[in-house]
Amino acid sequence: MDTTEKRKHWMSVLAQASFEKLSTLWQQSQTQHGLAPDYTIIRPAEIGLAQVRARMGSTGRQFNIGDVTITRAAVQLAGGEMGYSYLQGRNKQHAELAAVLDGLLQADQYHEVIFAQIISPLAADKQAERELRQQEVASSKVDFFTMVRGED
Protein backbone atom coordinates (compact mmCIF):
# COMPACT_ATOMS: atom_id res chain seq x y z
CA MET A 1 0.00 0.00 0.00
CA ASP A 2 1.52 3.31 -1.03
CA THR A 3 1.58 6.42 1.16
CA THR A 4 -1.52 7.92 -0.44
CA GLU A 5 -3.53 4.74 0.14
CA LYS A 6 -2.33 4.52 3.75
CA ARG A 7 -3.36 8.11 4.37
CA LYS A 8 -6.76 7.54 2.76
CA HIS A 9 -7.21 4.59 5.10
CA TRP A 10 -6.36 6.40 8.32
CA MET A 11 -8.33 9.52 7.35
CA SER A 12 -11.36 7.32 6.64
CA VAL A 13 -10.97 5.54 9.98
CA LEU A 14 -10.66 8.85 11.85
CA ALA A 15 -13.69 10.34 10.09
CA GLN A 16 -15.92 7.31 10.70
CA ALA A 17 -14.89 6.66 14.31
CA SER A 18 -17.10 7.63 17.19
CA PHE A 19 -15.71 10.71 18.92
CA GLU A 20 -15.99 9.09 22.36
CA LYS A 21 -13.86 6.10 21.36
CA LEU A 22 -11.37 8.28 19.46
CA SER A 23 -10.88 10.70 22.35
CA THR A 24 -10.52 7.82 24.84
CA LEU A 25 -7.80 6.16 22.75
CA TRP A 26 -6.09 9.55 22.26
CA GLN A 27 -6.05 10.25 26.01
CA GLN A 28 -4.61 6.79 26.69
CA SER A 29 -1.88 7.36 24.10
CA GLN A 30 -1.07 10.76 25.57
CA THR A 31 -0.77 9.25 29.05
CA GLN A 32 1.33 6.24 27.99
CA HIS A 33 3.67 8.03 25.57
CA GLY A 34 3.62 11.62 26.78
CA LEU A 35 2.20 12.91 23.51
CA ALA A 36 1.52 16.64 23.68
CA PRO A 37 1.76 17.89 20.11
CA ASP A 38 2.37 21.55 19.47
CA TYR A 39 0.23 22.73 16.58
CA THR A 40 -1.26 25.83 15.00
CA ILE A 41 -4.82 25.91 13.75
CA ILE A 42 -4.74 26.83 10.06
CA ARG A 43 -8.46 26.45 9.44
CA PRO A 44 -10.61 26.37 12.57
CA ALA A 45 -13.19 23.61 12.58
CA GLU A 46 -16.14 24.82 10.54
CA ILE A 47 -19.47 23.30 9.61
CA GLY A 48 -20.84 23.28 6.08
CA LEU A 49 -23.06 21.34 3.71
CA ALA A 50 -22.32 18.98 0.86
CA GLN A 51 -24.83 17.74 -1.65
CA VAL A 52 -25.30 13.97 -1.80
CA ARG A 53 -25.88 12.36 -5.18
CA ALA A 54 -27.36 8.95 -5.88
CA ARG A 55 -28.31 6.67 -8.75
CA MET A 56 -31.51 4.74 -9.13
CA GLY A 57 -30.58 1.07 -8.86
CA SER A 58 -26.88 2.04 -8.86
CA THR A 59 -26.95 2.21 -12.66
CA GLY A 60 -29.28 5.07 -13.64
CA ARG A 61 -28.57 8.74 -14.07
CA GLN A 62 -27.36 10.65 -11.04
CA PHE A 63 -29.75 12.84 -9.09
CA ASN A 64 -29.45 15.04 -6.00
CA ILE A 65 -30.87 13.18 -3.02
CA GLY A 66 -30.18 15.74 -0.29
CA ASP A 67 -27.62 17.56 1.81
CA VAL A 68 -25.29 16.29 4.50
CA THR A 69 -23.54 18.30 7.22
CA ILE A 70 -19.74 18.18 7.07
CA THR A 71 -17.17 19.55 9.51
CA ARG A 72 -13.61 20.26 8.39
CA ALA A 73 -10.42 21.45 10.04
CA ALA A 74 -6.75 22.00 9.20
CA VAL A 75 -3.74 22.24 11.51
CA GLN A 76 0.02 22.56 11.15
CA LEU A 77 2.29 20.75 13.58
CA ALA A 78 5.47 22.32 14.90
CA GLY A 79 7.45 19.98 12.62
CA GLY A 80 5.69 21.39 9.54
CA GLU A 81 3.28 18.52 8.88
CA MET A 82 -0.19 19.62 7.78
CA GLY A 83 -3.16 17.71 9.15
CA TYR A 84 -6.61 17.82 7.61
CA SER A 85 -9.97 16.32 8.42
CA TYR A 86 -13.39 16.18 6.84
CA LEU A 87 -16.12 14.31 8.63
CA GLN A 88 -19.85 13.90 8.53
CA GLY A 89 -21.68 15.68 11.31
CA ARG A 90 -21.23 18.79 13.42
CA ASN A 91 -18.58 17.79 15.98
CA LYS A 92 -15.85 20.46 15.83
CA GLN A 93 -13.72 18.77 18.52
CA HIS A 94 -13.74 15.55 16.50
CA ALA A 95 -12.63 17.42 13.36
CA GLU A 96 -9.77 19.17 15.16
CA LEU A 97 -8.56 15.98 16.85
CA ALA A 98 -8.73 14.06 13.56
CA ALA A 99 -6.67 16.80 11.86
CA VAL A 100 -4.04 16.69 14.63
CA LEU A 101 -3.83 12.90 14.37
CA ASP A 102 -3.55 13.11 10.57
CA GLY A 103 -0.57 15.43 11.01
CA LEU A 104 1.04 13.20 13.64
CA LEU A 105 0.59 10.11 11.47
CA GLN A 106 2.67 11.83 8.78
CA ALA A 107 5.56 12.32 11.24
CA ASP A 108 7.88 9.31 11.40
CA GLN A 109 8.45 9.53 15.17
CA TYR A 110 4.72 9.24 15.97
CA HIS A 111 3.37 7.13 13.12
CA GLU A 112 3.88 3.63 14.54
CA VAL A 113 2.59 4.46 18.02
CA ILE A 114 -0.54 6.26 16.83
CA PHE A 115 -1.28 3.71 14.14
CA ALA A 116 -0.99 0.81 16.60
CA GLN A 117 -2.81 2.45 19.51
CA ILE A 118 -5.51 4.45 17.73
CA ILE A 119 -6.02 3.58 14.05
CA SER A 120 -5.79 -0.22 14.32
CA PRO A 121 -8.32 -0.54 17.19
CA LEU A 122 -10.73 1.87 15.49
CA ALA A 123 -10.44 -0.01 12.18
CA ALA A 124 -11.03 -3.33 13.97
CA ASP A 125 -14.14 -1.90 15.66
CA LYS A 126 -15.46 -0.66 12.30
CA GLN A 127 -14.83 -4.05 10.69
CA ALA A 128 -16.63 -5.82 13.56
CA GLU A 129 -19.61 -3.46 13.15
CA ARG A 130 -19.64 -4.12 9.40
CA GLU A 131 -19.57 -7.90 9.90
CA LEU A 132 -22.35 -7.75 12.50
CA ARG A 133 -24.48 -5.68 10.12
CA GLN A 134 -23.85 -8.17 7.30
CA GLN A 135 -24.92 -11.04 9.57
CA GLU A 136 -28.10 -9.19 10.56
CA VAL A 137 -28.93 -8.53 6.92
CA ALA A 138 -28.11 -12.10 5.89
CA SER A 139 -30.39 -13.52 8.60
CA SER A 140 -33.35 -11.62 7.15
CA LYS A 141 -32.63 -12.58 3.55
CA VAL A 142 -35.57 -14.03 1.67
CA ASP A 143 -34.92 -16.39 -1.24
CA PHE A 144 -37.56 -16.25 -3.91
CA PHE A 145 -37.72 -19.19 -6.25
CA THR A 146 -40.02 -20.53 -8.91
CA MET A 147 -41.32 -24.02 -8.48
CA VAL A 148 -41.35 -26.19 -11.56
CA ARG A 149 -44.90 -27.41 -11.98
CA GLY A 150 -44.21 -30.01 -14.64
CA GLU A 151 -46.36 -28.42 -17.32
CA ASP A 152 -43.46 -27.87 -19.72
Integer-rounded Cα Rg, in Å, for the chain is 21
Examine residue 86 and state whether it is found in any structural domain, yes or no: yes
Averaged pLDDT score across all residues of the chain:
92
- pLDDT tens digits along 92-103: 999 999 999 999
Note the pTM of the prediction, 2 decimals. 0.84
Examine residue 144 and state whether it is found in any structural domain, yes or no: no
Examine residue 25 and state whether it is found in any structural domain, yes or no: yes
Examine residue 147 and state whether it is found in any structural domain, yes or no: no
Q: Is 18 helix (H, G, I), strand (E, B) or coil?
A: coil
| pLDDT for residue 40 is more than 80 | yes
Per the model's pLDDT, the better-predicted residue between 108 and 58 turns out to be 108
- E strand map for the chain: 39-55, 62-77, 82-88
Mention every residue, 6+ apart, whose C-beta is less than 8 A from residue 56: 63
Per the model's pLDDT, the better-predicted residue between 49 and 147 turns out to be 49
pLDDT of residue 143: 72
CB–CB of 35/136 below 8 Å? Answer: no
Examine residue 126 and state whether it is found in any structural domain, yes or no: yes
Burial group, residue 35, by CB count within 10 angstroms (0-12, 13-18, 19+): middle
Examine residue 73 and state whether it is found in any structural domain, yes or no: yes
Per the model's pLDDT, the better-predicted residue between 94 and 149 turns out to be 94
Find the domain containing 118 and state its range.
Answer: 3-131
Examine residue 136 and state whether it is found in any structural domain, yes or no: no
pLDDT of residue 139: 81
pLDDT band at 115 (very low <50, low <70, confident <90, very high): very high
Angle between helix 3-16 and helix 92-106 axes, rounded to 10 deg: 160
- pLDDT tens digits along 116-147: 999 999 999 999 999 999 988 888 877 777 66
How many CB atoms within 10 Å of residue 17? Answer: 24
- pLDDT tens digits along 10-21: 999 999 999 999
Domain count, the chain: 1
Q: Is 91 helix (H, G, I), strand (E, B) or coil?
A: coil
Examine residue 138 and state whether it is found in any structural domain, yes or no: no
